Amino acid sequence: METIRSRCIRERRIALTDEALTICAAAGLQPVKDMLIKNETVPGKIPLRYPLAVKLVSRDASHKSDVGGVAVNIRNKKQLSETLALMKDKIQKLVNPPTIDGYLLQEMAPAGIECFVGGRRDPAFGPVIVAGLGGIFIEIFKDTSIRLAPVTSHEAAAMMKELKAYPLLQGARGKSPADSQALIDIICRTSALLAACPEITEIDLNPVIVHPEGQGASIVDARIFFQEPAGT
């Protein structure tokens, strides 16, 4: 993490998506399998299984979908090169085109419930951990649950249960219940990472795709912000 952090501070930028995911992996938050490529040329051998997702890696765009920097369900190599060429073209035509630092090829996660797990350093309370369901639940209903970090698995379970959307995780309307244990584990590890690393001011795993019970959860996106060194 130290290498990534000093590079970010030196270059006065946020952690890139691939760097944030590397830090997560080091903290036991294993993301889906991925591969970073520097430009839109598809390498001969890709050690990943289709279908893939493609993401723009850019120091200027941490919200990749907003700039057309996310494509999903890519089925083969031909579609992959077309997608990369199209993505590059569209990004370069934007009014303020973001720097293209590369592209992240990722295996597609199986279906599940999109949740988010985040943490930040509150000026009064110190490290706090937040969790909820993704999409409209956070944006419109503000349905989140928050605790001081780090949390135990017992506390993480309580956080999940106090969400208004909790019945969806339990399997409302005949749907199979989600793997709550996998989500609890991710909440705990994220809170431990935040508590252990004061240099991290904010971390966001969004989405964490929670699969049916026994099938785990997939981390497919992460953002990490570091504390600016004093005097800058």
The yes or no reply on residue 206 touching Mg ion (CB under 5 A) is yes
The yes or no reply on residue 180 touching Mg ion (CB under 5 A) is no
Smallest distance from the beta carbon of 231 to Mg ion, in angstroms? 32
The alpha helices in 31-165, defined as continuous H runs, are 77-92, 136-139, 153-161
The partner in contact with residue 106, picked from ligand ADP, Mg ion, none with C-beta cut-offs of 5 to 8 angstroms by kind, is ligand ADP
Smallest distance from the beta carbon of 197 to ligand ADP, in angstroms? 22
> Helix 180-196 vs helix 153-161: angle between axes, to the nearest 10 degrees?
120
Distance CA 184, CA 168 (A): 15
The order of strands in the sheet holding 70-74 is: 34-37, 102-107, 52-57, 70-74
Smallest distance from the beta carbon of 106 to Mg ion, in angstroms? 12
Distance CA 206, CA 195 (A): 19
Distance CA 157, CA 211 (A): 17
Which of these ranges, 63-71, 145-153, 161-169, 190-198, lies near ligand ADP under the rule CB under 6 A? 63-71
Number of residues lying near Mg ion (CB under 5 A): 2
The partner in contact with residue 53, picked from Mg ion, ligand ADP, none with C-beta cut-offs of 5 to 8 angstroms by kind, is ligand ADP
Nearest to 206 by CA among 221, 192, 194, 216: 221
Smallest distance from the beta carbon of 232 to ligand ADP, in angstroms? 26
Please report, as ranges, the residues that interact with ligand ADP according to CB under 6 A.
32, 53, 55, 63-65, 70, 72, 106, 108-109, 114, 206-207, 220-221
